[in-house]
């Protein structure tokens, strides 16, 4: 009786191990197949992109529902460009620090938010608009400020900064 139990237990363990190996193999094959298929970006889009962003580096593409998106770097700036399937640029989003902010916006921020550090900037440009989303901080708070190209600043959110956690649990 004990021998039969051990025999059954060992066969069951082997079955479970083989089942896990099989599922792992299937998962790896499907993941590699998905990673191996690059998105199909139209020649119109690639041509328009290469003409517009001649200095783009590390370009990666994603297909969206009715458009496609390129993520890349220009110098040290991260950029995302969205195109429709006919090669028309719909929007660009740039991520950078205060050094690349237009001087009129930077000057107004330094006056209106004196003593606050600019943490990052997200510039969103569409066919009809440019908006700057700026994150600032001081010792107590985080500030989200939105700006037009003409430095019309609007505080959109203010949050208290959390206290640093002590290293002891």
Task: Assess if residue 92 is contained within a domain.
Answer: no
Q: What share of the chain is helix, strand, coil (3-state, %, to 5)?
A: 35, 40, 30
Question: In terms of domains, do 113 and 147 share one?
Answer: yes
Task: Assess if residue 165 is contained within a domain.
Answer: yes
Question: In terms of domains, do 64 and 13 share one?
Answer: no
Question: In terms of domains, do 11 and 74 share one?
Answer: no
> Where in the sequence is the domain holding 29, given as residue range(s)?
1-37
Question: In terms of domains, do 32 and 46 share one?
Answer: no
How far does CA 133 lie from the centroid of its chain?
A: 15
Neighbours of 83 (CB within 10 A): 24
One pLDDT digit (tens) per residue for the chain, 169 residues:
555 555 555 555 555 555 555 555 555 555 554 455 667 889 999 999 999 999 999 999 999 989 999 999 999 899 999 999 999 999 999 999 999 999 999 999 999 999 999 999 999 999 999 999 999 999 999 999 999 999 999 999 999 998 766 665 5
pTM value is 0.72
Contacts of 96 (CB under 8 A, 6+ apart): 77, 78, 120, 121, 123
Question: In terms of domains, do 138 and 168 share one?
Answer: yes
The total number of structural domains that make up the chain: 3
């Amino acid at each position: 009786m004990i021998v039969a139990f051990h025999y059954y237990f060992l066969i069951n363990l082997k079955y479970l191990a083989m089942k896990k190996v099989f599922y792992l193999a299937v998962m790896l094959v499907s993941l590699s197949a998905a990673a191996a298929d690059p998105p199909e970006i139209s020649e119109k889009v690639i041509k328009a992109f290469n003409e517009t962003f001649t200095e783009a580096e590390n370009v990666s593409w994603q297909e969206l529902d009715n458009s496609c998106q390129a993520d890349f770097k220009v110098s040290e700036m991260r950029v995302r460009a969205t195109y429709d399937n006919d090669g028309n640029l719909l929007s660009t989003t740039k991520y950078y620090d205060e050094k690349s902010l237009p001087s009129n916006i930077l000057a107004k921020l330094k006056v209106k938010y004196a003593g606050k550090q600019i943490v990052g900037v997200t510039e969103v440009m569409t066919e009809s608009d440019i908006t700057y989303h700026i994150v600032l901080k001081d010792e107590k708070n985080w500030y989200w400020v939105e700006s037009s190209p003409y430095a019309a600043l609007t505080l959109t959110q203010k949050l208290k900064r959390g206290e640093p956690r002590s290293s002891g649990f």
